[in-house]
A and B are shown apart, each in its own frame.
Chain A
Amino acid sequence: MPDIFFEDFIIGEVKTFGSHRVTREEIVAFASEFDPQPMHLDEAAGKASLLGGLAASGWHSCAIMMRLICDGFLLRTAGMGSPGVTENKWLAPVHPEDVLTLRRTVLESRTSRSKPDMGLVTFRFELMKADKSVALDQTCILMVGRRNPGARLA
């Protein structure tokens, strides 16, 4: 059962979660399925490209960040999906052996008049490398259940 609800996300709060070491195998596996461009499949092609070496598909870095979001807090949260991503910036390539962590900032939270059982929380999610450079900077909205949706003020 979830133990994190809409009310628990405090605007301005910054937290860091998890750690994922990227492997060559997963870069190639994801790219083979969804983004089979040479710089995501082959070291030499990566070196010859603007990415400077074998690099993960941008969609793969989004997927890796989603897993860090899940393991970091979302699987314990009354999550109800997401309406979308306001902006997603791929700032630096992700290479094999990069160690990635998630930095989460709560930007905004608002309740829903039409759906009183949930609220919308806007997050800034950053995928950080070990040297604290940011590979991916994303503003994303999550729908989160409220702690006591049926509660009424007396």
Chain B
Amino acid sequence: MTYFEDIEVGNTALLGRHTFTQQEIVAFARLYDPQPFHVDPEAARRSHFGALVASGWHTASMWMKYFVAANIGVPHPDASAPAGVAGEGALGQFGPATGFRKLQWLKPVYVGDTISYATEAREKIASKSRSQWGLLKAYNSGTNQHGDLVIDFESVVLVAKRPA
């Protein structure tokens, strides 16, 4: 278990890589974001995207999937995770998040794109009201196989301090 005290500002953890399939892009979008360029390959071809693209909320939710896998001790979704990918419970014990800021969808995510998800510790703030928790400001990102950022955002989360 990693605690607040163990997190080093500036450290970046690779959470895992995910390749988006047409089937999952369409399934997510049919439920939550059925704009034509997310659900209909032909309509997507005629749109300014030029081909089917994942909902931005799908790209963001997938970041969470890999973040949880790296932190909460559930099986890692990327069975072929390379060495150096954060493992079960490696990053710390997290409390509920209150939100995020400056989320950018910088490039479309197309069928077959492989996104590498990461999180970087930016700032540590001791919580005055909750003595057993610290606040961690993090910079979170997803980068495609061409090295282009496709999504990034800043989050503030509670991380458990080492029990006294």
Contact = CB atoms under 8 A, between A and B. Distances in A.
Contacts of B33: 63, 66-67, 70
Contacts of B102: 84, 86-87
B72 A34 contact: no
B160 to A, nearest CB: 13
B21 interface: no
Contacts of A74: 35
Given A59-B64, A63-B31, A67-B33, A84 B99 contact: no
Interface residues on A, range: 20 to 34
Interface residues on B, range: 20 to 34
Among A37, A59, A87, A89, the one with the most B-chain Cβ atoms within 10 Å of its Cβ is A59
A84 B74 contact: no
A36 B65 CA distance: 8
Interface string A25-60: 000001001111101000000000111000001111
Interface of B: 31-35, 37, 47-49, 53, 55-57, 60-62, 64-65, 68, 72, 74, 95-105, 108, 153
19 contacts: A34-B64, A34-B65, A34-B68, A35-B64, A57-B64, A59-B57, A59-B64, A62-B57, A63-B33, A67-B32, A81-B56, A82-B56, A84-B103, A87-B99, A87-B100, A87-B102, A88-B101, A90-B97, A90-B99
